[in-house]
Chains A and B, each alone.
Chain A
Amino acid sequence: MTRALAAAAALTLAVVTTLIVQAGGDPASALRHVYLLPVVALALAFGGLGGALSAGATLVLYASVVLPAIERSGLTPETIEGLVTFALVAGVGALGGTLTTRARRQRARYETILAVQRALAGVTLLEAALRSVRAVLIDRLGAADVGLVVRDGEREVAAAAERVVAGSVADRVLTGGAAVFVPDTGDGSRPRRVFATPLVVAGQPIGVLAVERVGELGGEERAAVEALGAHVAVALENARLTSRARRFADELERQVANATRHLEELDRAKSVFVAVASHELRTPLTALQGFSEILAARSLAPEEVRRMAGIMGAEAARLGRIVSDLLDLSRLERGLAPTLHRTPVAVEAALAATANLFRRGAVDTLVVDCASALPPVDADPDALERILANLVSNAVKYSPPDSEVRLCARRAGAMVEIEVLDRGAGIPDEARERIFEPYYRAPDVGAVRGTGLGLAVVKALVDAHGGTIRVESAVGAGTRVTFSLPAVS
Chain B
Amino acid sequence: MWALDRPWRPGTRPLLADTPTRLLVALAGAVAAGLLLADRIPLPPGALRVVGVAAGQGALLATALAWAGCRTRSGVVAIVLLVAAAVATTLDPAGALGYLLVPLWVAWLARSGRLAALGLAGAVPGRAVLAAVLLGAFLGGHLLVSASLTLGVRLRAGRGGLVLAALAYDVGANVLAAECFFRGALFNRAQRRWSFATGLLLATAAYVVRYLLDPLLPKSVEWIVGAAFYLTLLSAGNCWLFWWSGSLVPGGVAALLFFAAYRLLGTGA
The listed residue (B7, B122, B145, B195) touching A216 by CB distance below 8 A is: B195
Q: Is B219 an interface residue (CB 8 A)?
A: no
Kindly list chain A residues whose C-beta atoms are within 8 Å of the C-beta of B52.
Answer: none
Given the complex, which residues of B lie within 8 Å of A168, measured CB to CB?
3-8
Complex Cα gap A422–B12 (Å): 77
Bound Cα distance from A131 to B139, whole angstroms: 49
| B214-249 with Cβ < 8 A to chain A | 222, 229, 233, 243, 246-247
Q: Which of A47-69 contact B (CB under 8 A)?
A: 56, 60, 63-64, 67-68
Q: Using a Cβ–Cβ cut-off of 8 Å, how many residues does chain B contribute to the interface with A?
A: 32
In chain B, residues 11-25, which have Cβ atoms closer than 8 Å to a Cβ of chain A?
12
Nearest A residue (CB) for B4: A161
> Does B146 contact A169, Cβ atoms closer than 8 Å?
no
20 extra interface residue pairs, beta carbon distance < 8 Å, beyond A168-B6, A168-B7, A189-B119: A60-B233, A64-B145, A64-B146, A67-B146, A71-B150, A147-B1, A149-B4, A162-B5, A163-B5, A164-B5, A165-B4, A169-B4, A182-B8, A183-B192, A185-B2, A186-B192, A189-B246, A210-B1, A210-B3, A218-B195
Closest to B236 in A: A56
B3 touches A169 (CB 8 A): yes
Q: Does A161 lie within 8 Å of B246, measured CB to CB?
A: no
Check if A415 is an interface residue, CB within 8 A of chain B.
Answer: no
A: which residues have CB within 8 A of B?
56, 60, 63-64, 67-68, 71, 145-147, 149, 158, 160-170, 172, 180, 182-186, 188-192, 194, 196, 210, 212, 215-216, 218
Query: Given A68-B150, A189-B247, A216-B195, are A147 and B4 neighbors across the interface (CB < 8 Å)?
Result: yes
A sample of 13 cross-chain residue pairs with beta-carbon separation below 8 angstroms, ordered by A number, consists of A56-B233, A64-B146, A71-B150, A146-B1, A149-B4, A160-B1, A167-B7, A167-B8, A168-B8, A182-B3, A185-B2, A191-B192, A218-B195
Partner of B3, one of A56, A190, A196: A196
The A interface is mostly helix, strand or loop, or mixed, namely mixed
Give A180 to B9 CA distance when docked, in angstroms. Answer: 11
| Cα distance, A212 to B3, chains bound together (Å) | 8
The CA-CA distance from A210 to B233 in the complex, in Å, is 36
Cβ–Cβ < 8 Å partners of A71 in chain B: 150, 222
Asked whether B111 is an interface residue with its Cβ less than 8 Å from the other chain, the reply is no
* Nearest-neighbor residue (CB-CB) of B151 within chain A: A71
> B194 touching A183 by the CB < 8 A rule?
yes
Contact bitstring B112-145, A, C-beta under 8 A = 1, else 0 = 0000100101100000000000000000001001
Q: Are B2 and A192 in contact (CB under 8 A)?
A: yes
- Contact residues in B for A189 (Cβ distance below 8 Å): 116, 119, 121-122, 246-247
Q: How far is the CA of A167 from the CA of B195 in the complex (A)?
A: 25
A218–B149 alpha-carbon span in the complex (Å): 42
B142 smallest CB distance to A (angstroms): 6
| B7 pairs with A166, CB closer than 8 A | yes
